[in-house]
Amino acid sequence: MPQLPEDIIDRLIQMERRIQALSTAVNTRPVLNDVVNGSLTVKRQTDAQDANTAITLVQISGSGPGATKPVLRVNDSFSHEILSDDILTGGLARPWLTMLPPQSMASAHWPATSATAWTTIAQSQNPIWQPKMRLRMYTRISGTAVGQIRVMVDGVQFGPTVAAGTTFDHTGPVTADMQGGFGTTMTIEIHGIVTSGSGNVYAQPVLMHGRQT
């Protein structure tokens, strides 16, 4: 039997330790779900030769003022930017969301009723994009009238019934089935009623927006 170098056993032991360390590192490496200084593209494979881009998520470090802030953009398959944040101040840059225009504060111009039964005095229709809504509304009375105001969403009361002359301000769900209701159209109605006296009850929405759960 040929004579082995005296340190061959030590070398084999060191090699075995290195292999074990490499194996442990491979099996315990963190999940690759962080994107740093680059972008993530999700593709839709239609056949062996074609991979269409479904969505591109770009998160780049070192962008923005002073190259210190990341920027987040989501592009569709046509490279249209459909979602992005504002790298100057924070918040949402795109999409631009509709804002309620200034409303008249002269209650004589507001939706009103003198009816002694619940009557629809205002209505709007909106798509369901979020599971909750906040609605803030001023109410008034005229003459000797005493009355109430309520809000209905698809025939179901939304929030409390308030005495006319007080402020309605409520946040709550607009659907019990967000999966089935997403994107469908909801009907929002303001109802008024005069319960005693003579005159009108008035209501004027001044804030309405969707909310997350």
Mean pLDDT, rounded, of the chain = 85
Give the N- to C-terminal CA distance of the chain in Å, as an integer: 77
**pLDDT of res. 97:** 87
**pLDDT tens-digit map of 77-115:** 777 888 888 878 888 888 988 899 999 999 999 999 999
Contact 149, 139 (CB under 8 A): yes
Contact 150, 191 (CB under 8 A): yes
Q: How do strand 119-127 and strand 112-113 relate by DSSP bridges?
A: unpaired
Residue 67: DSSP 8-state: G
pLDDT(157) > 90:
yes
**pLDDT of res. 172:** 97
Place of tokens 């003022």: 65
205, β-bridge pairs: 137
**pLDDT of res. 12:** 82
Place of tokens 């993530």: 40
Structure tokens at 1: 């039997």
Q: What is the pTM of this model?
A: 0.72
The sign one gets for the Cα dihedral 88, 89, 91, 97 is negative
**pLDDT tens-digit map of 127-141:** 999 999 999 999 999
Place of tokens 């929002």: 188
Helix (H, G, I), strand (E, B) or coil at 31: coil
**pLDDT of res. 45:** 67
Pick from 83, 179, 94, 99: nearest CA to 131 = 179
**pLDDT of res. 22:** 80
The sign one gets for the Cα dihedral 15, 16, 18, 19 is positive
Assign residue 165 a region (left: φ > 0; alpha: ψ between -120 and 50; beta: otherwise): left
Residue 66 CA: distances (Å) to CA of 60, 78, 85, 89, 94: 14, 30, 17, 13, 22
213, β-bridge pairs: none
Question: Cβ–Cβ contacts within 10 Å for residue 212, how many?
Answer: 6
